A = this chain, B = another copy of it.
């Protein structure tokens, strides 16, 4: 049984992963990271019926970032705290989870119920779709403790909001509201705090009843796009379309379209 997260797959094939250390605003301990990673691997194993993953936080915050008093995350071999290696914890515990999350076989929605700070901000903005409470905010807190943004922030931010705003958030450590994040294109939807989970689950259910194979190919295309030139990306699209076009979901989708009906997708 996980200790620092809750995990459940509902009857609509939505997997709900809740960061569950509310007393620490769900700060990312190594234990929590390991538990998140286990569930991501479970989904990618294809042995569950999950067709959409939702990540949210228990209590007042989404995720307050790395747990600074978790010294396991930054070992110092000499015992001198000045020798601790903050890059090492990233490599051993963050990156494998983040890479498997990037390669997720199903869409992922992050539902930001409160503060998303530091590495918690990185986790929040990695969603394919990002829903946020009107009480939430995003906070690149790294500079206040002499660090650089990590856990993928420097990859995601310039690709979602451009280089000027990415540097601004990181250098000045401003807290930006969900509304501002929405206007910048960092996130997709803002709802009143009380409606956040209901709206998130509504869209998650819609996605979980969508063309899962096409969704998987789609998110891969977008993750790879900025590294490809036009010709390479066209090739990637046609390869993906060959696969998508042979799914039952596509066959049924086209038939339904021609009959002007709404398609029912099975995810294969």
Chain A residues engaging chain B, CB cutoff 8 angstroms: 68-69, 74, 81-88, 90-91, 94-95, 98-99, 102, 107, 128-130, 142-156, 158-168, 170-172, 184-188, 203, 206-207, 210-211, 213-215, 217-219, 221-231, 233-254, 256-258, 263, 265
Could you tell me the distance between the alpha carbons of A129 and B172 in the complex, rounded to whole angstroms?
10
Q: Are A149 and B185 in contact (CB under 8 A)?
A: no
Counting every copy of the chain, the complex holds 3
Given A148-B240, A253-B145, check contact A162 B159 (CB 8 Å): yes
For A226, list chain B residues within 8 Å (CB). 158-159, 163, 226
Q: Are A69 and B129 in contact (CB under 8 A)?
A: no
Could you tell me the distance between the alpha carbons of A133 and B233 in the complex, rounded to whole angstroms?
29
Which one of B99, B107, B233, B252 lies within 8 Å of A234 (CB-CB)? Answer: B99
**From residue A146, how far is it (CB to closest CB) to chain B in Å?**
3
Could you tell me the distance between the alpha carbons of A213 and B215 in the complex, rounded to whole angstroms?
41
Interface SS of chain A = helix
Q: Are A215 and B154 in contact (CB under 8 A)?
A: no
Q: Are A253 and B144 in contact (CB under 8 A)?
A: yes
What are 29 sample pairs from A and B whose C-beta atoms fall under 8 A apart?
A: A85-B242, A85-B246, A86-B245, A95-B231, A95-B234, A95-B235, A99-B231, A129-B168, A130-B164, A143-B211, A145-B250, A146-B213, A146-B214, A146-B253, A147-B253, A148-B237, A148-B241, A150-B238, A154-B225, A154-B237, A155-B228, A158-B222, A158-B225, A160-B162, A163-B226, A164-B186, A164-B187, A184-B185, A226-B226
Could you tell me the distance between the alpha carbons of A166 and B95 in the complex, rounded to whole angstroms?
25
For A218, list chain B residues within 8 Å (CB). 143, 148-149, 154, 167, 170-171
Chain B residue at minimum C-beta to C-beta distance from A229: B227
Which one of B87, B164, B211 lies within 8 Å of A188 (CB-CB)? Answer: B164
**From residue A234, how far is it (CB to closest CB) to chain B in Å?**
5
Q: Are A188 and B168 in contact (CB under 8 A)?
A: yes
For A68, list chain B residues within 8 Å (CB). 254, 257-258
